[in-house]
Structure 1
Amino acid sequence: MPELVVEDLTVRSGGTGRPILAGVSLAVKPGEFVALVGGSGSGKTMTARSVLQLLPPQLSIESGSIRLGALDVTGASEAELNRVRGGRLGMLFQQPKKMFNPNKTIGAHLREPLKLHSGLRGQAARTRVLQLLAEVGFEDPQRGARSYPHQLSGGMAQRAMTAMALAGQPEILLADEPTSALDKVLEQQILELLDRQRIQRGLGILYITHNLASVAAFADRVLVMDAGVIVESGTTETVLGSPRTAYTRRLLEASNLAPTSIPAAPTHQRSALTLTNVVKQFGSGKRSGRPALDWISLDVKKGEILGVLGQSGCGKSTLARAIVGLEGISSGSITRTLLAADAEATAVQLVFQEPHDSFDPRMTLRASLEAPLRSQKELTSAERSRRLAAAMEEVELDPALLDRRPGQCSGGQLQRVTIARALLLEPEVLICDEATSALDALTQRTILELLQRLHRDRGLTLMIITHDMDVVRHMCQRVAVLYQGRLVELTDTDKFFSDPQHQHSQDLVSAAIPCRGLHLKKIRAAL
C-alpha cells in the first residue's frame, strides 16, 4: 500500500500575509498511526484539507508537494481527485453534520461510496450499510440508516461519518477530531476499530486531535503543530515523555486536569431546577422507538456544579434543550424555582455544543449578542453597548471582536462569545453542552477556569454536559449518568469514580482509566 508524503507544504491566503502553513513536511506509512496535535487555529485541519485539495477558496498552495504513492495529488485533475477522495483517501471531518446532505438519509450517504469504490448495489449495499453502522456502535442500524442527519445527536453523527469514511476501504485515513463528540466507551471502541483496520488492512492513519490521552494509547508517532509550523516530531514515547519545546510542555501541562477542591454542595439547599418524571418521545407509532428521555426526575441545587455523563445519543442534549424550553416534553414537569416575589422564574441559559452553529454567519457578533437586549425597551443604545463590552471583558475577550463575524474567530474565541451571550441576561443557571469537547487543551483549561470563576463570583448553578471524565473530576460536585434516556445514577463525584454502581457508569470509568493512566505516567515523566 502507498505512503502519504507531504513535503515543504506552504499554504497562503490570497498569496499575501503570513502563511497558514509554512514548510510542513510529514509522512504516513502503511499500517502507521500518526498523531497531529496542536492548539486551535494551528493549521491541523488545513493540513488535512490540503491533502484532499479541499481548501477554502481564499487559500491556495503556494509551494510544496503532496504524494500518495505514485500519484501527485497537487497536480491531479478533478476527475482523479474524485476517484481518490472517499476511496484511497478517507476523511473523518470535525463537524460531521455540516458534511452531510440534509435531504438524504444516512443509508443513502453510505451507499454512495459503496457503489463508487466497491461496486456494491442493491441488497448487497444495504447489507453492508447495516454492517458498517453496527461496527461504529449504532444500537439499531436499520433505524440509523433511515434517519436524516438532523435526527442524530452530535455523537451519532460522528459515528455515521466514521462508517462513511471506512465504506470506501481507504488506504490512508485522515481523521480530524473523530472522537471529540463521543463518550469514553465509544471513543475507545472507535479508536480500537481504526486500530484493527490499521493492523488487518495496513491502513495508514493521520489522527488530528487535542486528546493527548488517546495519542499516548494509540499513536506510533506524534507531530506537534503551532502557527502553521511543525515544531516537534518523534515517537510517542519521546514527544510525550521528553518534550523538547516549551509549547509541547504547555500542551501536556494543560491537558493534565487535576481535581480541584470544590466544596460539597449543602445537602439542605434551595433547588434551582426540579425535573419530575420527564418523558420526551420523538415520533409516534411504530417509528417512535424508545423515549429520548424516560421518566427523568432530578433536583439541581442552587449554586452547585452538576456533571451529566452518558454515551452519545443517551438524551443529554435533549435534556438540556428541554430545560431551557427549546424542546417540548411529552409528559412530566420542569420547575424553575422563583428567585423573588417579582421574578418570573430562574433564568436558564444554554451554551451550545458547536459554537459555529449557534451564530448566524452573516451577522456580526455585536448584532447577534445585541438581539436579546433589544427586547428591553428601557435600555438605550449606549447602555446596550456597555453591557456587551462588559460581557466580553468578563469572558476575557477584547470588545473589538464584536465587530467580527463568526468565521473570523477561532473556536476558543467563539466558545467564549457564546458564554458571554448566555451571561447577558444574568442567568442563575448555565447549562454547558459539551462546551469544551472541540477545544485544544490550552483553550479548554481557559474555558474551565472561566466557568469556575463565574461560579464563584456570580454564584452560578452549572450543569456541565460532557464526555470528558477529567472535566467532571476537575469541576463537578455531583454526577448524573444517563443511559438510553434514563437517569441510572446520581451521586457525589468522588463516590462515582471510586465506586460506580450502574454497569454503564462502571463502563465509563473503566474506559477512561487505561488512556488516562498511560497519559499521566508520561506527563509525570515529562514534567
Structure 2
Amino acid sequence: MPLLEVRDLRVEIAQRQATVHALDGVSLTVNSGETVGLVGESGSGKTMTGMAVMGLLPKGGSITTGEILLNGRDLAKCSEKEMQAVRGMEVGMVFQDPMTALNPTMTIGRQVAEPLRRHLEISKAAARDRVVELLSLVGMPRPKEQAREYPHQLSGGLRQRVVIAIALACNPKLLIADEPTTALDVTIQAQILDLLDHLRVQLQLGVILITHDMGIVAGRADRVEVMYAGRIVEEAPTEDLFFEPRHPYAEALLASLPDLESDRSRGLFAIGGLPPDLSHPPANCRFAERCMYTRDECKSTDPHLSELGGGRSVACLFPRAANRLAEIRVRPSREELLVDSSAVDHSADRTAGALLDAVGVAKEFKVSSRIQLRRRAAVTLKAVSGVSLMVMPGETLGLVGESGCGKTTLGRMLAGLEVPSDGTIRFQGEEVSGSSGNRMRRLRRDLQMMFQDPYASLDPRMRVGSIIEEPMRLQHVGSHTERQARVRQLMGEVGLSLALIDRYPHEFSGGQRQRIGLARALSLNPKLLVADEPVSALDVSIRSQVINLMCQLQETHGLTYVVISHDLSVVRYMADRVAVMYLGKIVEIGPTASLYARPAHPYTDGLLKSIPVPDPMVARTRREASVTGELPSAINPPSGCRFRTRCPRAASLCAEVEPVLRDFGGGQAAACHFPLQPSVLEGQPQVPVGDG
C-alpha cells in the first residue's frame, strides 16, 4: 500500500466575484523512501496540492471531491482538530520562504522544540536535548549555540535547515518540500538537497518535492508529476520524462531551460501566452492556446490522463511519439526573435576603451555587535574589498557568487546608488564615486539599475504608466505628451499591452512586474544597466521570455549590462565575461566560454559543479555538494586567502599570504596559490602536498 494516495482531488476557492477551481481531478501516489517531483509554472496547482494534504487551504478554500489517503486514512474527511494531530506527527512541511515561516520573536531552539512539546509531551530538558540532536541531524554548525539565536541572525541556508529540523522533529513519514531552494545559491542549494536525500534514505521518508526548477528534479526525484492549470498532464519515471517527454507542455518546459550548452546566438525557447483563468477554466484542452501542435480536436475535446505503460500517463489527445527537444531548443521564441548576437563585432567597442572603470573599490558598513549583555560596540562589515574591473561598451559582464559575497553592493556602487568607502569608479572617464547633486542627476541618465524584487521596487500607489514616466519627469525630459508617447513605446518594447497602462503593480504577475521594472530602467535611454537577479524568482517559461527580451533590447539600444545572478546557467547564456566574487573580492574573471570550460580557481570550479543539470544521468553523478560549509563572516574574514576555510587544496601558505590575480591567458585571471590550471608564467600549477 502506498504511503500517500491522492485520488481525484478537487479544490475550489470561493472569492467575492468568482470561484477558482484550483485543483481539478489530481491523483498521485508517494511510497516510503521515494521522492516524487511536482513541477509546473506558478499557478499550476503544485503548492495547492501540498497545502491540501496538510489541511492548510487558504481562506475560502475547500475540498469538494476526492480522497487523500495517508496510510489508508482519508485526511480529506478529518476535522481541523484531527489535522492538528496529523501535522508534524505524520506529515511535515518545508515552506518556501524560511524567513516568513519562522517566528522572528522566538529563538531557534524554542521553535524546534515547539512541536516536540505539543505532540510528544516531553519535558523541557528532554526537548532541549532533542533540539540539539535535530539541529545536528540537519548539519547545523555549533547546534547548542545556534539554538539560542534568532532567525534574522542566520543565513538563508541555515534558516532552511531549521525549517527542515522543525518538519522532522516528530519523525513524520511524509515530507512536503515546497520550493525548498528557490532563493538559495547553487552551493547552499546543493547542500540542502543532499541533506533531504540523506534524510529520506536514513528515515525512509516519502518526499514530495515541489519546484519549478527542472534541473533539481532531474537529479533528486524518482518520479515526476507535471502540473498545468490545476491538473496533472504527465506522470513518468524521471529518466523517461527528461529523455522523451510525451506531453507538449512537459516538452516545452524542458526546452525553456538555459543550460551550459545553450547556443548564445539563438533566443531561448519560451512558451507563448499565459495559463487559463481557473475561475472560468476552458472545456477543451487547457494547454491548447499555448501549444505549438494544436489541432481542431484540441479546441473541442478535454483530454484526461491515459496510461501509456511503463509507469507513465499523459493527458493529451496527440502525445509526442518522439523526442524533439534538440530541435525546439534552438528555435527562437515565437513572439520574440533575436538578432544573431554572434554576428555582433565587439572588437571595435574594446578598442574604444572601458565604458566603466572601477579601481580598488571598497565598501564598509558600521554595524552594532552585542559583546556584553548591556553594551554594544560598532564593528565594520567589509562588504567589498579592493575590487578592480572594467566594463566594455556593448558587453554583458556577469557577477556571480554566493549571497553575502558583495555582488549587490558592488552593483549598487557601479550604478551610483552607493558611495565607495575607498577607490574610484569612472564612467566614460568621469568619476562617479564622488558625484552629487546636478552632476549625479546627469550621470543617472546613463546609469540605471534593475532591482532584484520588482514588487518592492515599484511604488504600489502609482499606476504603471506613471511609474515608467517618473524618471523622465524628474530629469525634465520632453513634454508631457512626448513622455506619454515614450511610455507607450516602452510598454510595447517590453511586451506589455497598452490596456494595462492604468493598472497598479499588485495587479501584475512576477514576470510582468519584471518587465515594468525593465521599461522604467530604459526610459532615459541609459548606456549601462545593472540588473540584480533579474530572473531569480521566475518560472522557467517566464524566465526565458525576460532573458530573450533583455538580449533583444541590448541589440536594439546598444545597451551594456552588468548582470548579477546566482544562476550560473543564466549567466553562461547572457554574459560575454564573468567575474566570480567571494567574500568581497574577485577571485576569478575572464571570458565566459574559457572560464566555464577551464576554471582556474577552486571556488569557481565548485560553483560550476553545483549547477543543477536537467539530465538525470549527469545529475546523479553529482550527488555531493562541491562547496561545503558556510560563508565566513565579512566582519572578520579569514586571513590570507578568504576561501581557504572551505577549500580542499588549502595549505599553510593560504593562511599567511593573500593571493593576487594572476594571468591565465585569453583575458582570464584568478587569485589562487594552487590553481586548477597553469598560469601564463608557470609551466604547471602548484599542488600542496602533505600540508593542511
Q: TM class, shorter-chain normalised?
A: 0.7 to 0.9
Amino acid at match of 1:418: G
| Structure having the larger proportion of residues in helix | 1
Show the counterpart of 1:279. Answer: 363
Of 400-409 and 488-497, more deviation after overlay is shown by 400-409
Deviation of 1:57 after TM superposition, in Å, equals: 2.1
Matching residue of 2:8: 8
Distance 2:123 2:390 in 1: 52
Shift in CA distance, 61/479, structure 1 to aligned 2, threshold 3 Å: same
The equivalences for 1:348-497 within 5 A come to 348-359=447-458, 364-366=463-465, 368-369=467-468, 372=471, 375-376=474-475, 383-497=482-596
- Structure 2 residue aligned with 1:518: 617
Which position in structure 1 is the counterpart of 2:257? 255
> CA separation of 1:424/1:378 partners in 2, compared to 1, >3 Å: closer, same or farther?
closer
**Secondary structure, aligned partner of 1:431:** strand
Aligned residue type for 2:45: G
1:524 match: none
Q: Is the 8 A contact 1:281 1:293 kept in 2?
A: no
Per the TM alignment, residue 449 of structure 1 is displaced from its structure 2 partner at its CA by 0.7
- 1:476 Cα deviation after fit: 0.8
Specify which of 270, 276, 280 is matched with residue 354 of structure 2. Answer: 270
- The residue identity in structure 1 corresponding to 2:364 is K
By how many angstroms is 1:196 displaced?
Answer: 0.9
Contact (CA 8 Å) 1:338, 1:345: kept in 2 or not? no
- The one-letter amino acid of 2:26's match is V
Instruction: Point out the more displaced range, 473-482 or 369-378.
Output: 369-378
The 2-side partners of 1:367 and 1:326 are apart by 22
Q: Is the 8 A contact 1:352 1:435 kept in 2?
A: yes
Aligned residues: 520
Find the counterpart in structure 1 of residue 298 from structure 2.
none
Residue 296 of structure 1 aligns with which residue?
387
Contact 2:396 2:562 in 1 (8 A): yes
CA separation of 1:340 and 1:498: change in aligned 2, threshold 3 A: closer
Classify 1:126/1:57 alpha carbon distance in 2 versus 1 (closer, same or farther; 3 Å): same
- Superposition TM-score, scaled by structure 2 size: 0.66
1:187 maps to amino acid: Q
Give the CA deviation at 1:340: 8.6
Q: How does 1:499-510 map to 2 (within 5 A)?
A: 499-510=598-609
Whole-angstrom distance in 1 between the partners of 2:177 and 2:614: 19
User: Of 399, 410, 413, which aligns to 1:319?
Assistant: 410
- More displaced 10-residue stretch of structure 1: 381-390 or 47-56: 381-390
Provide closer, same or farther for how the CA distance between residues 448 and 108 of structure 1 changes in structure 2, counting only shifts above 3 A: farther
Paired residue secondary structure (1:345): helix
1:74 alignment partner in structure 2: 76
Corresponding residue number in structure 2 for 1:234? 236
Q: CA 1:193 to 1:105, structure 2 compared with 1: closer, same or farther past 3 Å? A: same
1:155–1:312 Cα contact (<8 Å) kept: no
Task: After TM superposition, give the deviation of residue 95 of structure 1 in Å.
Answer: 3.4
Query: Any idea what the Cα deviations from partners look like across 1:98-141, whole Å, max 9, x if unmatched?
Result: 43444455555444345445667767766766776676676777
Greater Cα offset, 272-281 or 485-494:
272-281
- C-alpha distance in 2 between matches for 1:67 and 1:400: 46
Match of 2:27 among 20, 25, 30: 25
Aligned position for 1:337: 427
Change in Cα spacing, 1:383 to 1:176, as seen in structure 2 (3 Å) is farther
| Cα distance change on mapping 1:450 and 1:172 into 2, 3 Å | same
Moved more, 236-245 or 81-90: 81-90
- In 2, the alpha carbon distance for the partners of 1:27 and 1:207 equals 13
| Matches of 2:525 and 2:89, distance apart in 1 | 50
Q: Could you list the per-position Cα deviations for residues 1-47 of structure 1 after superposition, in whole angstroms to 9, with x for gaps in the alignment?
A: 98222222222342745622211111222211001111232222222
| Larger displacement relative to structure 2 (298-307 or 353-362) | 353-362
- Which residue of 1 is the match for residue 181 of structure 2? 179
Q: Which amino acid aligns with 1:278?
A: A
TM-score, with structure 1 as normaliser:
0.85
Measured in 1, the distance between the counterparts of 2:144 and 2:581 equals: 23
In the alignment, structure 1 segments of 5+ residues that lack a partner are 522-527
Greater mean deviation of Cα atoms: 313-322 or 477-486: 313-322
Residue identity opposite 1:344 in structure 2: R
| 1:233-283 deviation digits (Å, cap 9, x = unpaired) | 011122222211111111111115404145667544223252523133452
Question: Tell me, what secondary structure is at the counterpart of 1:31?
Answer: coil
Letter in 2 for 1:11: V
Q: How does 1:42-191 map to 2 (within 5 A)?
A: 42-104=44-106, 106=108, 109-117=111-119, 157-158=159-160, 160-191=162-193
Q: Give the whole-Å Cα distance in 1 for the aligned partners of 2:424 and 2:115.
A: 45
Residue 100 and residue 14 in structure 1: after superposition, are their counterparts in 2 closer, same or farther (change >3 A)?
same
Deviation at 1:205, TM superposition (A): 1.1
From the CA coordinates, give the structure whose radius of gyration is larger. Answer: 2
1: CA distance, partners of 2:485 / 2:174: 51
Conserved? CA contact 2:239–2:616, under 8 Å: no
Structure 2 residues not aligned, in runs of 5+: 266-341, 372-376, 432-438, 621-692
Is 2:109–2:131's contact at 8 Å kept on the other side of the alignment?
A: yes
Q: What are the Cα deviations for residues 338-357 of structure 1, in whole angstroms up to 9, with x where unaligned?
A: 58997732543333334344
Partner SS state of residue 344, structure 1: helix
1:298 aligned partner, one-letter code: L
- Higher normalized contact order (CA 8 Å, seq sep 6+, divided by chain length): 1
Q: Cα distance, 1:88 vs. partner?
A: 3.0
Change (3 A) 1:107 1:513: same
Measure, in 2, the Cα distance between the counterparts of 1:323 and 1:127: 49
Q: For residues 430 and 471 of structure 1, what CA distance do their matches in structure 2 show?
A: 17
1:448 partner SS: helix
Residue 325 of structure 1 deviates from its aligned partner by 5.7
2:525 aligns to what SS in structure 1? coil
Counterparts of 1:86 and 1:363 in 2: how far apart (Å)? 43
Letter in 2 for 1:345: L
